[in-house]
Structures are given as C-alpha cells and as structure tokens.
Amino acid sequence: MSNRHLSRTIALQSLYQWDFLGMPEGGKLAEITSFNKEEFAPKFDDEGFIDELIVGVVNHYTDLDQIIIRFAPNWPIDSITIIDRNVLRLGIFELKFAQNIPAKVAINEAIELAKGFGGQASGRFVNGVLGAIYKDMISHGEIKEVDKQQKEEEKKSEIN
C-alpha cells in the first residue's frame, strides 16, 4: 500500500467516525484522527497529508455535500451510506480543491477506497458521481494546473 493511499485510508476512517458521531465540533475530530494514526500506522510519517485531507474536507464539507446533491440527485445525502458519503467528500475535495492532486489520481483513489470499504456497488457509484463532476469541470474549463502539466508531458512523450 502506498503512503498516500494509507493516508487516504486513515483520513476516510477518521471522517467516517466523525460523521457517524454526528460531526461534533471542537477537538473531537483531532482526537479521532490521532487515535487512528496511532492504531493503524504508529510510526508512519505522512508529512501532514492526512490532516490536509481532513481539514480540507471539513472546511469545505457544505460545498462538498452540495456537489454530491447536484451530481447524485436520486440519492438524498442522508440516504447515502456514511462510508460512500465520505469517500465522495474526500474524492471531490481532491478533485476540485486540492491543487496538487491530478484529477485521475483523485478519482482512482476514491474508487479504490469505495471498493475496499463500501458495499458491492460503491465503486461504480463513486465512479459515476466523480466522473460526472470531472466532465462538468472540463466543460466549464475548470482544469487544475497539475492536470494541464500532466497533459503537456503526455503530449511530449507521444511526440518522442
């Protein structure tokens, strides 16, 4: 398991617990995250990536939930399983707000988390929602700089 995947897994577990407990304010999420880091990867140095993900999701969770509502209109946010809801929050955060994460990485990682922790259809559900969001981003010209650079590199390698 790669370091980033492990970080995302711990972030997902922490967000799941936080959501399950009713999204309590204060230091509860920090306590949950600290416990999960110690429990699942005690000597792991993620260079702050877990906290970056969690803080990003928490700071944007209202926007993230609105995006989920828009792109999964047949699924009221409260009827989406807690795990799928938080996989989507993580995936959308990375897709739309984390400027250093390529879109394909954000989508693929979210699908892997959904397959690993969700139900039988979770991977397909997450793929469908994130795919629709990504297509919408492209149609509106919302392409992150990291994706532009990756596309340039792909063009250069095709030429050579």
Q: Write the CB contacts of 102 (distance below 8 Å, at least 6 apart in sequence).
A: 144, 146, 147, 150
Q: Residue with structure tokens 């991977």?
A: 123
Please answer whether residues 96 and 137 qualify as being in contact, where contact means their C-beta atoms are separated by less than 8 angstroms: yes
For 3-159, CATH number? 1.10.940.10
H or E element at residue 150: helix 145-159
Please answer whether residues 57 and 64 qualify as being in contact, where contact means their C-beta atoms are separated by less than 8 angstroms: yes
Residue 160: its pLDDT value, please? 64
Closest CA to 88 of 50, 130, 132: 130
Token readout for 16 is: 């799941």
Over residues 124-154, the pLDDT tens digits come to 999 999 999 999 999 999 999 999 888 888 8
Q: How far apart are CA 105 and CA 28, in angstroms?
A: 29
Over residues 41-79, the pLDDT tens digits come to 988 888 899 999 999 999 999 999 999 999 999 999 999
Mean pLDDT of the chain: 93
What is 29-70 written as a DSSP string?
HHHHHHHHHHHH-TT---TTHHHHHHHHHHHHHHHHHHHHHH
All structural domains of the chain with their residue ranges: 3-159
Over residues 58-67, the pLDDT tens digits come to 999 999 999 9
Residue 24: its pLDDT value, please? 87
In the predicted model, is pLDDT for residue 95 greater than 70? yes
Q: Write the CB contacts of 122 (distance below 8 Å, at least 6 apart in sequence).
A: 81, 83, 84, 87, 114, 115
In the predicted model, is pLDDT for residue 97 greater than 80? yes
